[in-house]
Amino acid sequence: MSTSLWSMVLETEQGALADLEKPKGAAAGEEGRKHARDACVEQLEARLDWTMMVCEAIWSLAREPLGLTDERLKDRITELDLADGKLDGRKRRAPATCGACRRTVSQRFPRCVYCGSAIERDPFA
**Site residues, Zn ion (CB under 5 A):** 98, 100-101, 112, 114-115, 117
What SS3 state is found at 36?
A: helix
- What 41-45 contacts at long range (C-beta under 8 Å, 24+ apart), as own/partner pairs, is 43/17
Please name which of 35, 40, 43 lies closest in space to residue 19, comparing C-alpha atoms.
Answer: 43
Nearer of residues 6 and 114 to Zn ion, judged by Cβ: 114
Strand partners, 46: none
Cα–Cα distance measured from residue 110 to residue 96, given in angstroms and rounded to the nearest whole number: 11
Nearer of residues 43 and 117 to Zn ion, judged by Cβ: 117
Please name which of 59, 61, 52, 92 lies closest in space to residue 76, comparing C-alpha atoms.
Answer: 59
Nearer of residues 41 and 101 to Zn ion, judged by Cβ: 101
- How far apart are CB 103 and Zn ion at their closest, in Å? 5
Nearer of residues 62 and 100 to Zn ion, judged by Cβ: 100
- How far apart are CB 93 and Zn ion at their closest, in Å? 18
- How far apart are CB 91 and Zn ion at their closest, in Å? 25
- How far apart are CB 121 and Zn ion at their closest, in Å? 14
Name the residue type at position 38: D
